[in-house]
Chain A
Amino acid sequence: MGEDTDTRKINHSFLRDHSYVTEADIISTVEFNHTGELLATGDKGGRVVIFQREPESKSAPRSQGEYDVYSTFQSHEPEFDYLKSLEIEEKINKIKWLPQQNAAHSLLSTNDKTIKLWKITERDKRPEGYNLKDEEGKLKDLSTVTSLQVPVLKPMDLMVEVSPRRVFANGHTYHINSISVNSDCETYMSADDLRINLWHLAITDRSFNIVDIKPANMEDLTEVITASEFHPHHCNLFVYSSSKGSLRLCDMRAAALCDKHSKLFEEPEDPSNRSFFSEIISSVSDVKFSHSGRYMLTRDYLTVKVWDLNMEARPIETYQVHEYLRSKLCSLYENDCIFDKFECAWNGSDSVIMTGAYNNFFRMFDRNTKRDVTLEASRESSKPRAVLKPRRVCVGGKRRRDDISVDSLDFTKKILHTAWHPAENIIAIAATNNLYIFQDKVNSEMH
């Protein structure tokens, strides 16, 4: 296939001298587990890297609560679909942790087509004193064995073992964009562009289709599913978002196929802002329930919105992430940036929301004080233990010293994936192939 060979190999030789990023290292998802002790990242090369928070110790107060690599494993490999002559990327689209039920940790990781359940266990002891084998495992000469002994467990260096326990394959025709574990801890759902399936964690050869928006005639396709999530407390409720900017809350008790929503959340279009790009920028790229379960957070191209489950007519809060891009939509359409899918996150107390932007900026909005801040995740501006300096994008008018102008923003540096520790003010930011972890030392507890 000539020129269609692996682009990674080609670029390796051409651009050796520049400091560009190996594509396989680009982080594609970030997720804390339920206690925040573990942080998992997935990348374009199909690998998962898990970080563990070091316990705070009095002997080394400086290094309290830092995250170190705990385990690395290859979750997905590239595959080739021979029927369609198309590659299936190994890129990890989403990782979701299961609630911990015993000493082992479990997580689900998914690429475009296949979901896998991984079990992560620790081994810190090993048996010694076998009768038939010596220390290296070789069989002993039986004539030398004069007495029997009981093997004893001796401590060893910690070893983290990861094994695939389930592979949920062949459930999706289209590309999987979300997975979500149900609060019942027995089932989970996976959503692709047109369908949502419900799986039981122990059953891999069967799944139930609960949403199907594929039209009978593909000519009529105008809307796709972009994200979905189970309600954190009600195991029968889930929400899914669409490319037209609507949210549908569905109740699995109502029918086996939840094509009819229980609630439809949609904001009427602002006629004064209408342009050819209105629909594209209204497409919801991420939806997250609040920890309380009362609200939903959505991200579209220019804003984040907070919705109250009790009010379908419009969001209760709207925050501008980068309104200065509104006049640049045509250029952003041209270079495809307008299709970037940014994620959003709640803090543990649902009082602050966070989302990424361009130029390695990310934004935080305090829902109570209505204050917001723009911060930057880059090596130049963040030395360890340094305080992050708020950044500002200026749009003409008076310009302060460290402001960045809209035209100098780097659109290749996008922060699509962010995560917030479930209990503390610790955030994980994925900037291309770099992972940044920031902590609010002064206010460690959530307010």
Chain B
Amino acid sequence: MEGPESAMAVVAGLRTPENVTCVLPRGTMFARGLKRKCWDGDEDVEGAPAAPSYSLQRQSLLDMSLVKLQLCHTLVEPNLCRSVLIANTVRQIQEEMTQDGAWQLPAPPVAGRGPLDHLVSTEILCRAAWEQQGQRPAPDLPSELPGALGAPAPGSAQSCIWEADSSRGHRGSFPKSLDQIFETLESRAPSPVEGLFADAGGPYYDLDAVLTGMVGGKSGPGGGDGLQALAPAGAPPPSASCKRDLGELDHVVEILVET
């Protein structure tokens, strides 16, 4: 073959419906909007601050990842590969943050702002690690960070990221988006007893969806292994109360679905 660019000709067939109806591919608007937001971040935007620090962007990536793992309103099982990759990313970030000793407190909350506001230009995260050496805060320079270093022990923080109950006690220590995740889970996951007697179409569905969705795509039949499925590797054992409540939930569902 001379070269792939020589003399290519269209032979046949476009298969398109003439009268197309429409489904916006999920994330279209998001993609476009983000293009302007992220990639134009370096150009002058009125009143834009200088590119945020590596720590803040890393935190923002962690928030984003946790939101992605959050169960979504879908009837179809989430993609296991995607969930595993996101969970691994979360683990990586947490490990690095543990090494830095840099469990951050969130910026002072401003009314009405959601997690999307964390998503400033995060190109910096895509640069090679060696480029970032100069920009990463040394552990003994706390003044750069919004909150104090040496916040709640990383171990307990890590272990409780996946479990709903313990978050109530530590809410102040977590980024805002995590709070939102847990609020959502609270409203969606009725107590086991409620779930037993609720209408089939309502809360019971939610209960099941919570469990399948919460583990980010666990699709195996056993409900019991799911909830701890994505706990970060190497985390110390989670507090007993977390596990017990969720264990009850598992147990109930197992009975109900007889898996």
Contact = CB atoms under 8 A, between A and B. Distances in A.
Nearest to A112: B77
B109 interface: no
Interface in B1-24: 1-17, 20-24
B187 interface: no
Contact of A339 (B1, B21, B81): B81
A68 B257 CA distance: 48
A243 B84 contact: yes
Contact of A221 (B10, B14, B205, B229): B229
B21 to A, nearest CB: 5
B76 A173 contact: no
Interface residues of A, number: 108
Nearest to A85: B208
Interface stretch (A13-21, A157-165, A288-296): A13-21
A275 B34 CA distance: 21
A83 B223 CA distance: 11
A383 B84 CA distance: 43
B20 A51 contact: no
Interface string A173-205: 111000000000000000001100000000000
A22 B1 contact: no
A148 interface: no
Given A217-B225, A280-B85, A351-B1, A436 B13 contact: yes
Contacts of B112: none
Given A222-B84, A275-B129, A326-B126, A86 B119 contact: no
Contact of A223 (B84, B233, B259): B84
A102 B216 CA distance: 46
Contacts of B126: 275, 277, 326-330
A273 B128 contact: yes
A20 B24 CA distance: 7
B28 interface: yes
Nearest to A336: B27
A57 interface: no
Interface of B: 1-17, 20-25, 27-28, 30-31, 34-35, 38-40, 58, 61, 64, 68, 73, 75-77, 79-82, 84-85, 87-89, 92-93, 119, 122-123, 125-130, 201, 205, 208-209, 212, 215, 218-221, 225-226, 228-231, 233, 257, 259
15 contacts: A14-B22, A16-B21, A22-B22, A66-B12, A67-B13, A219-B231, A221-B229, A275-B129, A277-B126, A329-B126, A333-B61, A375-B8, A387-B8, A434-B15, A437-B11
